[in-house]
Amino acid sequence: MGELSLRRLQRVGKATYSISLPKGWVRKRGLRPGDILEVYEESDGSLRIRSRIDKLAESSYLIDAELCRVYGQISKLITACYHRGCERVEVRAAGGLNDEVVKEISEAASRLPGFEIIERTNKSIVLQNFIDPSKFSVRGLIRRLQTMISTMFGNISDFLFSMSYEDIKSIRDLREKIRQLHALMVRLLITYLEHRGLGRAIGLKNSTDAYCMIMFSDHMLRIAEHLYDIGEEFLRFRKRLWRNKEMLSLLKELIGLTSMIFEDSINAFINTDPQHTMKILNQISNIVDHQLSGGELLKVHDLGRTCFIEKILCSLRGIMLECERIVEEIFDRFIENGGPVCMLKETYRSV
């Protein structure tokens, strides 16, 4: 908690008001008369003042590879730095980087959009960000995630009709692209929380909006993982799928139903429609309790087929649960944005 100081509001001219800034704060940042400051209004009505020095300071992290004794730890740290909005990461080892560490760093960089290796020696590797966050729209990224997951649904449905394994194999590539897009979206949203002036460029209004978007991105990633699991199960079960026409027909119906709920959930989230949200929540509850309970599909005496069906139903229920969470977060956005249905009643009291 910073030190509290009181300032008297001054009137300058006919339509402008001003307050003086703490001298220590000004000197610490090397500011001079005429320098430009950025002023943001927070959702609670308070103001945040940021100097250009604060804005342009680039975060940089140094990772000591010799202290990371478990494989995978370095890649996790690099990813965390990326999410945090870090512009530069150096991985260093006084005794030299072995081939395993170099491979781990390279693989981590390949999964992070805009993060590239710019310098490499025997003892260190430097990664640099080349992405400008102001060039991205959050709404555009949401639509891109929606399109890729819709394609995954489409590939699974096509496989059930065409029996072409290429439709299923392409899901693996889509899953990797969604992982990369998720990492980019998390980075963008955390950067916004550090630099609120970015909000207008990327289409965010407040911190609640940013929080909901981060959660949304997580839900989309998990939906993609469930679809990937379904695809892998289909590949393992292979031609046995088409021996039972009734089971195949029910699977087509359930995939189509889940895809429809997914599309409705995303559109409701984007449009912030609480009335439509309640209809979707009721649909999800009904589908999970009845169609995805497995009653008809599990009426088989083949143990292998029973295990296969249970795994597919588990993944479909998982997708429904993520859709449910997505639409529930609509209410958080709705309340924050305000409206005639639920308006913020502000009351002020003297301190």
Q: According to the per-residue pLDDT averaged within each range, which of 42-51, 130-139, 140-149, 341-350 is highest? A: 140-149
Q: Model confidence over 177-193: pLDDT tens digits?
A: 999 999 999 999 998 88
The segment with the largest mean pLDDT, out of 17-26, 53-62, 207-216, 338-347, is: 207-216
Summarize pLDDT for 54-76 with one digit per residue, the tens. 544 568 999 999 999 899 999 99
Provide, for the chain, the percentages of residues in helix, strand and coil under a 3-state DSSP scheme, each rounded to the nearest 5. Answer: 60, 10, 25
State the average pLDDT over residues 213-239: 92
Q: Which residues are paired to 119 by β-bridges?
A: 126
Residue 345 included in any domain: no
Tally of structural domains, the chain: 3
CATH of the domain at 152: 1.20.58.220
For tokens 């969470």, name the residue: 325
- Which residue range forms the structural domain that includes residue 318? 136-337
Q: What is the 3-state secondary structure (H, E, C) of 96-154?
A: CCCHHHHHHHHHHHHCCCCEEEEEECCCEEEEEECCCHHHCCHHHHHHHHHHHHHHHHH
pLDDT, position 56:
43
Which helix (H) or strand (E) segment holds residue 65: the answer is none
Number of continuous H segments (helices) and E segments (strands) in the chain = 12, 8
Mean per-residue pLDDT, 295-322: 81
Domain with residue 124: its CATH number is: 3.30.110
Q: Is the dihedral of CA 20, 26, 32, 38 positive or negative?
A: negative
Q: Tell me whether residue 342 is in a domain.
A: no
Q: What is the CA 36 to chain-centroid distance, rounded?
A: 33
Residue ending a domain, choose from 103, 133, 163:
133
Query: Distance from CA of residue 115 to its chain's centroid?
Result: 17
- The string of pLDDT tens digits covering residues 119-135 is 999 999 999 999 888 78
- Strand ordering across the sheet containing 115-120: 60-64, 88-92, 124-129, 115-120
Going by C-alpha positions, the residue among 268, 271, 272, 267 that lies closest to residue 336 is 272
Residues 119 and 46 reside in one and the same domain: no
Q: What is the rounded average pLDDT for all residues in the chain?
A: 85
Buried b (16+ CB within 10 A) or exposed e, 127-165: bbbebebeebebeebbebbbebbeebbebbbebbeeeee
Q: Is residue 168 domain-shared with residue 102, that is, in the same domain? A: no
Would you place residue 96 in the very low, low, confident or very high pLDDT band (cuts 50, 70, 90)? very high
Residue 175 within any structural domain of the chain: yes
Task: Verify that 172 and 195 share a domain, yes or no.
Answer: yes
> pLDDT over 90 for what percent of the chain?
46
Separation between Cα atoms, residue 38 and residue 35, nearest integer Å: 10
Res. 350 pLDDT band, cuts 50 70 90: low
For residue range 324-340, list pLDDT tens digits in order.
Answer: 999 998 888 777 666 66
Strands (E), 174-329: none
Amino acid at 203: G
274, 192 contact by CB (below 8 A): no
Residues 70 and 142 in one domain: no
Residue 312 domain flag: yes
Q: How far, in whole angstroms, is CA 208 from its chain's centroid?
A: 14
Last residue of a domain, one of 110, 133, 156: 133
Higher pLDDT, 36 or 22: 22
Looking at the fold, whether 97 and 213 belong to one and the same domain comes out as no
The reply to whether 95 falls in a domain is yes
Please give the Cα distance from 193 to 210 (Å, whole number): 8
Domain edge (last residue) among 95, 114, 133 = 133
Q: How far is CA 30 from the centre of its chain?
A: 37
Top-confidence residue, 92 or 34:
92
Q: Is residue 346 part of a domain?
A: no
Whether residue 70 sits in one domain with residue 34:
no
**Residue 349 within a domain:** no
